[in-house]
Chains A and B, each alone.
Chain A
């Protein structure tokens, strides 16, 4: 019996800094067959490990546009991420996955798409953007609302121009605050302040949101107040995870396992569940 806890060895082939504490790592499996067979859908996550330090879950930040490697965008805040932060091209890590249910791209076909992201929450949505970019005629208008704490906390800054060149796409930016001496030509305020100028309407649209749970709470409520329905809204949740396979129990929310039933959930499926800030 193949042990699903067994990682494959992979190599970091590129490291790109996103912000003062966050980098995007491009990772490639050493084993040819594993590399060839690897398929993931936007919104899924990987378990990445450093032997001796442990394993942690990370969203994929690249989509099907990459065939022989994948990206994951990681903020250095803990044990495993602290070591990864010191790793450079050529370092080897353990990888298993992908796990979980991703974004509803089938359901999104033919509809307008609103993306609401906060901070590093843009990372798991980046593969949605690249998927739309590559299959532009399959989807309706695209609107991205992105908020970060300060201009220095924004992710994927050098890709905004390219995203804005995607046909029928708007990208709006906001930050909670701007330090003195920094010029900021966009909005100031939490991400929901961007709702006032939003172009997408509730008719025949779908919403995908990822960020701190409290941000998603206000985003979802703001959208409901603008006549979006609960079942049009999809959220991606963060929870502690040790296995990714429905064994370890850490990610449970009532009857749901975030690792298997999520991490992307329809907002209406979370109604009435305990231990949620949504």
Chain B
């Protein structure tokens, strides 16, 4: 029963830092859930995707002692439970896993992920910019969750994906789901799928993209594009990072830190002596779009359920101050 959510969250909070969608003025964010009223499962999307919980916008890697030895900064990999993540964002995390759990695992990300539990939601709250259906990443999560909840009105349908999910679901007061509940979920999904306002035809898209690197739209869009990189900052799968050293005379400390970086920024591909491999804004725009729609999927990370880097969350469309729309870009390079 949904009325018991209060009790369930209280139980979860004994073992986990619980993070979920909460209201922040007119938007939502993934934030700490202390009481059930913090949680707003009616949310459409959040300002930043949950990637920030595993790969924060900025953090220290090391500090250096006077001998130049690096002292690793605390990873703070506390037990984390994400409550109410949608399928697009969950698929975003599964793709980041491929990037950061390669043969050089990025330990800060990997340890946080290993210490996390995912309670996902079947998504019926589609926004105007959503297109997960097109990208094969939603609205129903297929994998990667410990528990999957579907809102059936007064009740949740509870499905478990892992042993840990099963253990935690056992703390809920529940009864056996009936065939009619599963039918209701199917109906909800069917209705949701009719509501998408944005679509991308992904059939052969990667190859079409590669053949259209000189398409006139890159130059045209670059004329309006501000290269502000808000799309990158709000993307659940953009992983580019910068590594910088900082020195503070006040703290007497030198640190090496990691922070999010963006291919849209002028300096991103710059090398010594001012050489820049993506000096033109059109090239940077093409890099972002190409990474999301073409070469960032199977070509780069191996099969991730056959998906592209883009998971169709629609955030880049929401935040773009000049209305650049990745679904329209995909349509135009296909030629309509």
Contact = CB atoms under 8 A, between A and B. Distances in A.
Interface string B58-88: 0001101001111010000000000000000
A181 interface: no
A87 B41 CA distance: 58
Contacts of B273: 77
B271 interface: yes
B15 to A, nearest CB: 23
Interface stretch (B17-25, B120-128, B234-242): B234-242
Contact of B268 (A4, A240, A254): A240
A247 B261 contact: no
Contacts of B107: 1-4
Nearest to B214: A274
B190 interface: no
19 contacts: A4-B104, A5-B62, A7-B70, A49-B256, A51-B64, A51-B70, A51-B245, A52-B245, A52-B254, A53-B245, A81-B272, A94-B68, A240-B268, A247-B106, A249-B261, A250-B261, A252-B287, A275-B278, A275-B287
Interface in A7-50: 7, 9, 49
Interface string A258-277: 00000000000000101110
B111 A248 contact: no
A6 interface: yes
B269 interface: yes
Contacts of A53: 245
Nearest to A261: B300
B299 interface: yes
Interface string A51-64: 11111000000000
Contact of B72 (A3, A246, A253, A272): A3
A264 to B, nearest CB: 17
Provide the main secondary structure of the chain A interface: loop
B112 to A, nearest CB: 12
Interface residues of A, number: 41
Contact of A248 (B242, B245, B254, B283): B242
Contact of A54 (B67, B105, B245): B245
Contacts, number: 123
B185 to A, nearest CB: 37
Given A53-B245, A246-B104, A250-B261, A5 B61 contact: yes
A6 B70 contact: yes
Contacts of B70: 6-7, 51, 94
Contacts of B294: 254-255
Interface string B251-286: 000101000010100001111110101100001001
Closest 5 CB pairs of A and B: A249-B240, A255-B295, A245-B104, A255-B299, A51-B64
Contacts of B104: 4, 245-247
B304 interface: no
A4 B243 CA distance: 13
A238 interface: yes
A257 B246 CA distance: 27
Contacts of B242: 242, 248
Contacts of A93: 68
A199 interface: no
A129 B213 CA distance: 38
Contacts of B5: none
A243 interface: yes
Contacts of B272: 75, 77-78, 81
Interface in A58-98: 75, 77-78, 81, 92-94
A94 B242 CA distance: 18
A138 B17 CA distance: 61
A274 B290 contact: yes
A250 B268 contact: yes
B243 A274 contact: no
Given A5-B61, A240-B269, A92 B68 contact: yes
